Chains A and B, each alone.
Chain A
């Protein structure tokens, strides 16, 4: 089974990369861009199907994929 994990900086943490991308998009003429937040995307393939997959993915995020001090994460299991 596959899982998708998105990791983004928390709302109150300044995202200078997102700001730079936001400014570049406006410079390109995309004036409708109000804000850009840049994050990370992980596609994780798991062996077999586990009933506790969601809980295990939560632990993966807490222990390594995200830094809970500055980042939030979102787990999606598309075919669940």
Chain B
């Protein structure tokens, strides 16, 4: 699998996700600066976590208008898979490639801790997990509170596009298990085509037991298998 990681000014998980891809898929990605106007041939574009443009205006708002994003939109339209992690998810909603918006956490605090997540629906990005399975990735964000209008939410539910939710230890979607106030406990959604996936948690931070978990390793290995 050929992957590209886009680097924005203020990205800070770009190297982490590049290392995760190299270690878990055996194929090192190409890093592309946001000012580039074209993408090299690839199967997957990753928009990494961080604070692109210092989160000025709104998280992801300025990055969404970076020169490279025109190529990312074109690649997405051609069916190239796009993965947005944390700030990358915020950029995908600001670009309109995914619906809804990520607003300030309901608790007004930066949350940084491992969270339990339930995998749902079918998505090439979660091919490594069984639907209904609970996994654990860490979150680290200030604007991870997913909001959308009731009609869009109903559509996402009906189409099975809510593929990752915050859950408690028993796998239930509860207020206590929700780190940021996201509607319906949403941690990750896909596009209608299933080829675009945005999630707030960080799989690249759990790619081995020395990092506190290896669910991220399963995630990236299966993404490579599904997209190769």
Contact = CB atoms under 8 A, between A and B. Distances in A.
Contacts of B100: 69
Contact of A64 (B65, B147, B181): B65
A54 interface: no
A67 B147 contact: no
B148 A69 contact: yes
Q: Is the interface of B mostly helix, strand, loop or mixed?
A: loop
Contact of A16 (B94, B99, B108): B108
B35 interface: no
A15 B147 CA distance: 12
B105 A69 contact: no
A70 B101 contact: yes
A65 interface: yes
B101 A69 contact: yes
B94 to A, nearest CB: 7
B184 interface: no
B61 interface: yes
Given A16-B104, A16-B107, A69 B65 contact: no
Interface string B98-136: 011101111110000000000000000000000000000
B95 to A, nearest CB: 11
A70 B103 contact: yes
A13 interface: yes
Contact of B57 (A13, A17, A65, A69): A65
Interface string A58-80: 00000111010110000000000
Nearest to A42: B57
7 contacts: A9-B103, A13-B103, A13-B147, A16-B105, A63-B65, A65-B57, A69-B99
Interface of B: 57-58, 61-62, 65, 93-94, 99-101, 103-108, 147-149, 181
Which 4 pairs between the two chains have the least Cβ-Cβ distance?
A: A69-B101, A70-B101, A16-B108, A16-B106
Given A69-B93, A69-B100, 17 more contacts: A14-B103, A14-B106, A14-B147, A14-B181, A16-B104, A16-B107, A16-B108, A16-B181, A20-B108, A63-B65, A64-B61, A65-B57, A67-B58, A67-B61, A67-B94, A67-B101, A69-B148
